[in-house]
Structure 1
Amino acid sequence: MRAWSPVEIPTLPVSGPEVSLHDTSTGGRLTSAPVDAARMYVCGITPYDATHIGHANTYLAFDLLNRAWRSAGRTVRFVQNVTDVDDPLLERADKVGVDWVELAERETELFRQDMQALRILPPDALVGAVESIPLVIDLIQRLDAAGAIYRVEDDLYYSVAADPAFGAESHYDRDTMLRFFGERGGDPERDGKKDPLDPVVWRGERPGEPAWDSPFGRGRPGWHIECAAIALEHLGTTFDVQGGGSDLVFPHHEMCAGHAQVAAGEPFARIYSHAGMVGYGGEKMSKSLGNLVFVSALRNSDIDPMAVRLTLLRHHYRTDWEWTDEQLFAAVDDLATWRRAFSLGAGAPAAPVVTEVLAALGDDLDAPRAVAAIDAWAKATLGTDGLADTSDPEAAATLLPVLDAALGLAV
């Protein structure tokens, strides 16, 4: 599956610091200083609808990590999936009377356009669930050889008891796990399972649903096994960061880790990093509530995508927050102010701002702190608190590449 077109990143004359990130599994900070290429897997979309601001918030967070690694002089290997066959997609296609393949292709293309507009760096490998079915089959066979697979009627399940480290990523108690498992695509009430938390890895063929041949009978992959198989194939074990929204902590990332660790005998990822949830109208954005703000709708209403990106950057990636139109319109005004300041060429001293921006992003991707440094520079340059400071004749030329490379803003 093709990704979107790459974004040209300026080469900076200075290096950023090594990146420290909050790790969900330990609850603390870990410094990511890979010996060779930094390896990152970020869980992608299920393409049954357009990209909304919650998606954009997550993908921007890990775009900042990608950029911070590069600023620190690291090469990056970034992999992302697209779950182009799964229950939500099939249900949506049936409801609107559209072929599920057509729906998946259409929404995946819209996702590419949205990511391109927001200047998200593309993955080195964008891999669909359908094309990864051979990888899934191989991983299931490895798990079966380890004694971790059993059958319930036509479906295959993975036994969470096979991984001694089960629960070490999320640290949730069993009641919380059961609640989230039921709310997030699991089937804890199904008869015949060894443990209510065991996830399906191969769903046997149902009438009217797509299915593929396998040694276990015709069917299709489960959700968690898809990401585990793709990550193992393209990144190997113990890669640097497993990323996604905080709603993926359990069951998705816990199950992915279990699948990989039982099959490979090594840790799945070094750091588990999660972006906060974005709300709208007092609730988390979700399809079921109908309170989604779509990136494409904003683009089609002549909103500068950089204003959307700046709105997201003003919130720390791990926080939960609420989108409002007022924040977006403030970002439009802020960009206009920044552009006036940059148009002068000269401005307030730029070197301390460069240092602060790169340091902020190395410090658990603190984009609000980085943006505040640019705000202060623009304010000083334009003299909004008094006399304008244009003591640095090369200020704009120094700062613009940093905004581009580190924050992804084309100003």
Structure 2
Amino acid sequence: MLQIYNTLTRQKEPFKPIVPGEIHMYVCGPTVYNYIHIGNARSAIAFDTIRRYFEYRGYKVNYVSNFTDVDDKIIKAAHESNETPSELSQRFIDAFMEDTKAVGIEPGTTNPRASQMIPEIVDFIQDLIDKGYAYESDGDVYYRARKFAKYGELSHQNIDELEQGASQHVSDEETDRKEDPIDFALWKAAKPGEVSWDTPWGAGRPGWHIECSVMSTTLLGNTIDIHGGGQDLEFPHHENEIAQSEAKTGQTFANYWMHNGFVTIGDDDQKMSKSLGNFITVHDIIKTVDPMVLRFFMASTQYRRPIRYSEANLQDAENNLNRLKIAQTNLQYRQANAADGADEDVQDQLTALQERFIAEMDDDINVQNGLTVVYDLAKLMNEYANRDVVYAVTITDLLDTFNAWLQIFGVTFQKPQLLDQDVEDLIHQRDLARENKDFARSDAIRDELAEQGILLEDTPQGTRWRRA
């Protein structure tokens, strides 16, 4: 049975979707004012891997991940680069999509932007005001956190501790506008020259927390199956999302909360972040490192555990990935001379591996244990490739399973370009197939060569070939 660790309850729970066979999943996306660093990418890769495993298990996943394109950091960066906030955010959204595609991250079913949902945000805030959960103060709108009885449950903090912490991080000016230090902003009054929208409370822009509540409930419904993000979002962002959403709808916001661990760097395992200045962007690293190596490195650690970034760990990932690629290549090579039928003993071994893989991955997406099974399958593939007689059905089943598992980890291997001798060998095999009237095999070789950009021309003097 598939089990998920729920941050809210601090325990693993059997996963039961609201609608059988479907999953509604919301994952907090980036604030787009710079290229994403690999700490940001960890969350995107972790939840992409989780999504892919759900799909492998037969679920239809409605996956929403947002872009925060209205924010103090965006306004500041746009001013420094002499762009409008929308120009800057679009530039980094494009970069995000390009960089994440390179490391095998699938786009969300929907990737909404805060600036595109202003009317919905305004209506949501007005509803909270009408219900007494929010109030306007000098053009700002704040949420009455103390009014929400469950405030602090997700992060397991009590209200007194939160009040003490809030009072130390809020300016006197903002304190004067608030009824309570722990209240948080839903809407911010615009400063001169800032991007803004007109509302009943004056010109301004949304606070950070409100946008995710609005996007999630608008696009996925009042209650979703899974809400995900980095551990650093647990408080205050996700705590505030729960308070806003449940105060408005009167329903549970998310049934399962999943949070990924940090990426650390250096001898002291310091968290990687822009604020600490110790980050490495995906945009830069994939200029020198194979994107599939970076993807495999990030996807090889169970999502709740921290990842230690180092050149040595990247090299280990590359070595392990090469082992898997060699196993695939070895078995693919034997397809050309495979006998009809199946090898029952190997089929039984494959079935046992498939059952093990699901059992390991069903345990809170335990990719490390799952990869142990992948390596065992690679070992079986190498052993089978060395047998004198191999069977076509078994080779196909081994490769199909292997490729399906690699897809979960977001890994794809590019076919190596055929060398001239490889082309000559395949043409020889095709000639033999034609002599034996095995036209299916002959056509298959022609198609294989065509995929590699090799064009064949049959002449009275024999087959000639050229690269397209």
Q: Is the 8 A contact 2:377 2:402 kept in 1?
A: no
Q: Is the 8 A contact 2:381 2:398 kept in 1?
A: no
Q: CA deviation at 1:19?
A: 3.0
Gaps of 5+ in 2: 335-345, 414-468
Tell me which residue corresponds to 1:200: 185
RMSD: 2.5
SS of residue in 2 equivalent to 1:258: helix
Deviates more, 1:249-258 or 1:108-117: 108-117
Partner Cα distance (2:63, 2:377) in 1: 33
Tell me which residue corresponds to 1:372: 372
1:212 paired with 2:214, answer: no
Say which of 271, 274, 295 aligns to 1:287: 274
Q: Deviations over 1:124-151 (max 9, x none)?
A: 1111010011111010011011011112
Tell me which residue corresponds to 1:353: 353
SS of residue in 2 equivalent to 1:247: helix
1:9-408 matches, within 5 Å, as 19-34=2-17, 35-36=19-20, 37-174=22-159, 177=162, 190-281=175-266, 282-301=269-288, 303-345=289-331, 349-379=349-379, 381-382=381-382, 393-394=395-396, 396-408=398-410
Q: Is the 8 A contact 2:154 2:234 kept in 1?
A: yes
One-letter code of the match for 2:283? Answer: S
RCO higher in structure (CA 8 A, sep ≥6): 1
One-letter code of the match for 1:399? Answer: T
One-letter code of the match for 1:75? Answer: K
Q: CA deviation at 1:277?
A: 0.8
Q: Is the 8 A contact 1:64 1:361 kept in 2?
A: no
Q: Is the 8 A contact 1:180 1:251 kept in 2?
A: no
Q: CA deviation at 1:404?
A: 3.9
Tell me which residue corresponds to 2:340: none
Partner Cα distance (2:244, 2:12) in 1: 25
Task: Flag the 1:293–1:358 CA change in 2: closer, same or farther, 3 A.
Answer: farther
Partner Cα distance (1:371, 1:42) in 2: 24
Q: Is the 8 A contact 2:8 2:155 kept in 1?
A: yes
> Which one has the bigger helix percentage?
2
SS of residue in 1 equivalent to 2:127: helix
One-letter code of the match for 2:354? Answer: V
Which protein has the larger Cα radius of gyration, Structure 1 or Structure 2? 2
Deviates more, 1:220-229 or 1:340-349: 340-349
Partner Cα distance (1:309, 1:149) in 2: 43
SS of residue in 2 equivalent to 1:125: coil
Task: Flag the 1:162–1:176 CA change in 2: closer, same or farther, 3 A.
Answer: closer
Gaps of 5+ in 1: 1-17
Partner Cα distance (1:179, 1:325) in 2: 42
Q: Is the 8 A contact 2:331 2:382 kept in 1?
A: no
One-letter code of the match for 1:402? Answer: A
Identity %: 31
Partner Cα distance (2:308, 2:167) in 1: 26
